[in-house]
Amino acid sequence: MQEDNAALHLASVGQAAGQLLAQHLMQPHVKSVTIGTGSALRAAIEAMPLVPQPELAIYPATGCLSQDLQSSALEALTLIERRTGARAHQIPAPFMPSTSTQAVEFPALRPIKQLLESAAKSELMVTSLQKVSAKSGLIDDGLVSATQVGSLLEFGAIVELFGTFFNAQGQPISNQSAPKAISLDRDVLFSQIEQKKCRTIVVAAEQERDKIRTEMEQYRAAGCKYLELRVGIQPEKDIELIRFAAETAKPREVVYADANCRWTLLEAMKVAQAIDDLDVMIEQPCFTYEDRLHVRANTNLSMKLDELVTDQFIAERITRDRAANVACVKIARIGGLTKARRIRYIFVDQGVKVVTECMMGGEIISAAVAHFAASTTAELLFNTTDLHAYNKESTGSPAPPTSDGRLYCHNTPGLGVEPDFKSLGDPVAVYE
């Protein structure tokens, strides 16, 4: 039963991640993609719809011969090659060399060096987090010793990303006894992330309660009254985290747990039943509409939908089925302001509260979101987000003002933001 649940969970993650991966591969600026390893990545590529991109260059981030084919770079490269029709390059070397001499010689070989240098320049890098385990199959293959893996674990290594090992705080492990992976150079990888040349996805695990309490106090002091929890990894820990947040919250503060489609139906039901006595909201518990509707019918908890809100048809279905208390209308995912406005009114007319957002953005997008929120019936506006606060790079100035936990529109014509054309870069297309 445990294996069946794990398979269902992996399939659910794959379905959600596959759609996201397809969207990124269709972006016009993505000319090459670097692929890592992992069973979750494999599930995502298998679930990804066909994306015909024959001109796309596909590079590996690691060697291809030493890992189990169910999650190796070779398997991932072969799968994405079939889904895109593009050509995938391969590194004919083991992921973990068995000797220190090989660790130096393999990356120095000209074809391997050239491939890794090309991989480092890709516009998109995709991989799964690989758990560091004392039961690694690499030990059985003689490609890494139990002592080396044990040393990594002693130093706190929990995951491997593109051949670099990280601890629970997200810091890279510096350990001389760790095996040298044939993969993207750590300095090159970090340089790419720092320069924002590739899209990076950060996975947040459960945090220490003292840290959560401190962050809640900081946001509370800024006037924020909505606490969103990222859950959906382990149901038991999710239940503990939700209960802790609910007990910590003060009157009139709203706590909602965003599973982001990660729970299977069984997991969602387990969590919902365990927290049914709390005044909290759960967001997007399952991947499919039918599973989410089943959870809704069997709990007293309030529900918020996000990823499922994609078009007018689903908006009408949500209101007809009374499937949600709150719906998130993201401008870019809906197809622009005109369609988003139409869908917003479908929800508002039926008494469903809305969150006005976009997928992500800087000052310009935040300004558009602020106007979208301001034009929404106040009683049915659940909340909105100052998206530019989550970015280090600026797309224009001044940013929409925020005060006491609220986002405001500029009191000037238009959006009130002067674009930073240098930051925005060359136009994708020009129409005259």
**Residue 219 and residue 358 in one domain:** yes
Same domain, 94 and 64: yes
What would the two tokens of residue 216 be?
């809640």
Q: Looking at the predicted structure, is the pLDDT value of residue 166 above 80?
A: no
Same domain for 189 and 215, yes or no, is: no
Q: How many domains does the chain have?
A: 2
pLDDT per residue as tens digits for the range 356-400: 998 888 899 999 999 999 999 888 999 888 888 877 788 899 998
Q: Which domain holds residue 377?
A: 209-424
Considering the domain architecture, whether residues 187 and 265 belong to the same structural domain is answered as: no
Asked, for residue 183, whether it belongs to a domain, the answer is: yes
Confidence at residue 265, expressed as pLDDT on a 0 to 100 scale: 92
Q: Residue 81 is part of a domain; what is its CATH number?
A: 3.40.50.1360
pLDDT attached to residue 348 = 94
Percent of all residues in the chain with a pLDDT value above 90, rounded to a whole number: 25
- Which CB contacts under 8 angstroms, 24+ apart, belong to 404-411? 404/222, 404/223, 405/222, 405/223, 405/224, 405/225, 406/223, 407/366, 407/369, 407/370, 407/373, 408/370, 409/367, 409/370, 409/371, 409/374, 410/367
Q: Is residue 404 part of a domain?
A: yes
**CATH number of the domain to which 252 belongs:** 3.20.20.120
117: in domain: yes
In-domain check, residue 158 = no
Whether pLDDT at 221 is above 70: yes
- pLDDT over 80 (residue 174): no
At 70-121, the pLDDT tens digits run 456 677 888 888 888 888 887 766 666 666 677 677 777 777 778 778 877 8
Asked if 124 and 33 sit in the same domain, the reply is: yes
Can you tell me the mean pLDDT for 220-226?
A: 82
138 within a domain of the structure (yes/no): no
pLDDT top residue among 33 and 315: 315
Residues 365 and 302 placed together within one structural domain of the fold? yes
Q: Identify whether residues 268 and 348 lie together within a single domain.
A: yes
When the pLDDT of each residue in the chain is averaged and rounded to a whole number, the result is 78
Both 183 and 242 in a single domain?
no
pLDDT in tens, 397-411: 999 888 878 888 888
Asked whether residue 38 is assigned to any structural domain, the reply reads yes
- Decide which of 157 and 24 is more confident: 24
Q: What is the mean pLDDT of residues 276-281?
A: 92
**Is residue 70 located within the same domain as residue 218?**
no
Look at the pTM and tell me if it is higher than 0.85.
Answer: no
Residues 6+ apart with CB under 8 A from 218: none
Judge if 247 and 183 occupy the same domain: no
Least-confidence region, from 149-163, 262-276, 348-362: 149-163
* C-alpha span between 96 and 86 (Å, rounded): 27
